[in-house]
């Protein structure tokens, strides 16, 4: 190994670069393929030598290429996050698009994307580029899985260095994401308010081929399940809590049966979370509960004693703490078991499910419990 250490000194690595490279070598050694016919020391040595040769070549020839793993998401959130590396790239029309890393739980996905424009491309950060894209998700057997509710891409000016690398973070809120699933990312264009950047030379070309990065893996972050099939007070009676989970990215809660039946036609049990204009109707007992997720009344209790309301709410006087909870809702779905036209039972299983997405990833070690409709569920 000494000759490789000497080589590192000769090419002029800084101490920080040496540390980063050493970390990469350790990771490569730990993830080396497990060939049963070779002794372990040979596997590690070959992985280390191969990784070092590749790292030397990449570092020497493309010193300021793709942003380092985790940098874009760190800038996006304003804090370090435990994302997982991807490193998938596609080059087309002089551009290189790289998914550097991702962060995911069962309902939320963040994708760090570096778009390397042709040399000389400079963008005014105040004229933030807009990424036009689409994607498709697949189960482990590559069956399409498209249950997402919303998605968007945001330019990250804090990570932009004024060069030809344009950093983006793509966010999706979905349902039922799992380990071993994958997604394909299709990029159509990058635009500013004045012009197209990626398709500048062939905007009207009918044979234009979009950029596709395929088989991007999904790895679910740590999630704690809390549901115990207990009864919770909601919609004026009780329903069964069948799902309550918390990850660093979101809280998911679902109740079934009981008061979920016909819940869209009862007076809300938490009117304080509705618009003030609804209060006269509530007083008359004539308001339909069209905002059924408000009855969840969710709070987080932190170990330092803080009690944080995380929603949901449509009343400006009772808003969740925006330093904790994202203003972009993660979605609600429900079934009240009643036919909308006849008002007769439709025979379907009744439920209400909602997700609350955090504004920034939370440290679960600092959270003591989740409180649903006044009932406390401790994380540990």
pLDDT one-digit tens code per residue, 168-200:
999 988 778 999 999 999 999 999 888 888 876
Give the H/E segment covering residue 40: helix 40-61
β-pair type (231-234, 367-372): unpaired
Q: Report d(CA 21, CA 57) in Å as an integer.
A: 12
Q: What is the pLDDT of residues 73-126, one digit of tens each?
A: 999 999 999 999 999 999 998 899 999 999 999 989 999 999 999 988 888 888
Residue 23, pLDDT score: 46
Say what the pLDDT of residue 61 is: 34
- Nearest of 123, 117, 119 to residue 161 by alpha carbon: 123
Q: What share of the chain is helix, strand, coil (3-state, %, to 5)?
A: 25, 35, 45
**Contact (CB, 8 A) for 364 and 272:** no
289's tokens: 């509960």
Alpha-carbon gap, residue 68 to 101, rounded angstroms: 10
**Nearest to 246, CA basis, from 372, 140, 82:** 372
Per-residue pLDDT at 286: 67
Element holding 308 (H helix, E strand): strand 307-311
Residues of the chain with pLDDT under 70: 1-67, 147-149, 200-208, 285-291, 328-330
Q: Which of 101, 80, 149 is nearest to 360 (CA)?
A: 80
**Token couple for 57:** 């070549």
First to last CA, the chain: 45
Query: What's 331's DSSP letter?
Result: -
Alpha helices by DSSP H, the chain: 2-10, 15-30, 40-61, 71-77, 279-284
CA-nearest of 339, 126, 117, 375 to 230 is 375
Which pLDDT does position 171 carry in this prediction?
A: 93
């Amino acid at each position: 190994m000494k000759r490789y250490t000497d080589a590192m000194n000769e090419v002029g690595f800084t101490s920080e670069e040496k540390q980063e490279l050493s970390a990469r070598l350790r990771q490569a050694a730990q993830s080396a393929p497990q060939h049963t016919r070779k002794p372990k020391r040979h596997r590690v040595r070959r992985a280390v030598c191969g990784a070092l040769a590749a790292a030397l070549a990449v570092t020497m020839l493309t010193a300021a290429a793709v942003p380092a793993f985790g940098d874009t998401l760190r800038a996006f959130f304003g804090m370090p996050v435990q994302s997982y590396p991807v490193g998938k790239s596609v080059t087309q029309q002089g551009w290189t698009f790289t998914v550097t890393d991702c962060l995911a739980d069962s309902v939320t996905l963040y994708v760090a994307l570096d778009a390397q424009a042709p040399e000389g491309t400079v963008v005014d950060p105040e004229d933030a580029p807009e990424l036009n894209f689409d994607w498709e998700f697949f189960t482990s057997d590559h069956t399409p899985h498209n249950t997402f509710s919303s998605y968007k891409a945001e330019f990250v000016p804090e990570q932009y260095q004024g060069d030809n690398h344009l950093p983006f973070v793509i966010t999706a809120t979905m349902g039922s994401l799992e380990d071993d699933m994958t997604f394909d990312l299709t990029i159509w264009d990058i635009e500013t308010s004045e012009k197209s950047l990626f398709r500048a030379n062939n905007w009207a070309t009918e044979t234009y081929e979009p950029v596709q990065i395929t088989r991007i893996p999904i790895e679910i972050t740590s999630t704690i399940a809390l549901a115990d099939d207990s009864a919770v007070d909601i919609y004026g009676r009780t329903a069964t809590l069948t799902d309550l989970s918390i990850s660093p990215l979101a809280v998911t809660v679902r109740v079934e049966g009981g008061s979920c039946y016909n819940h869209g036609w009862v007076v809300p049990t938490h009117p304080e979370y509705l618009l003030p204009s609804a209060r006269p109707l509530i007083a008359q007992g004539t308001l339909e509960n069209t905002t059924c997720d408000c009855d969840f009344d969710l709070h987080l209790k932190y170990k330092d004693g803080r009690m944080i309301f995380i929603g949901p709410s449509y009343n400006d006087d009772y808003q969740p703490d925006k330093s904790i909870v994202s203003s972009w809702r993660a979605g609600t779905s429900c079934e009240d078991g009643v036919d909308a036209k006849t008002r007769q039972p439709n025979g379907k299983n009744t439920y209400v499910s909602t997700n609350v997405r955090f504004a920034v990833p939370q440290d679960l070690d600092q959270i003591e419990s989740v409180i649903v409709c006044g009932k406390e569920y401790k994380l540990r």
